[in-house]
Amino acid sequence: MRIEQPLTIVNKLGLHARAATQLVTLANTFSSTITLHKEDKSADASSVLGLMMLESHQGETVTVACEGEDAQAAFNAVKSLVEDKFHEEE
């Protein structure tokens, strides 16, 4: 199964080190491959450095692609994390 949908980064600091670390931790709980795409760049959600190199800031859109047996659950979890601003106090 493959799910691919755009998400808007809503937290003030964007996809910085702490947010990327949370996403990596979450991604590692799923068997599906999770990849984020922004313009001509892409990053595996299991790589903090890769995610930070996307340079995703507040208000920007990234496309989240989940592929595998638990792709829907993986996407839903990533979407919740992004919409919850990576649990950051702002």
Catalytic residues: 16
Structure tokens at 56: 């995703």
Q: Which residue has the tokens 């890769």?
A: 50
Question: Which residue spans within 1-90 are E strands per DSSP?
Answer: 2-8, 33-38, 41-44, 61-67
* Torsion 35-38-43-47 (CA) sign: negative
Q: How far apart are the first and last CA of the chain?
A: 36
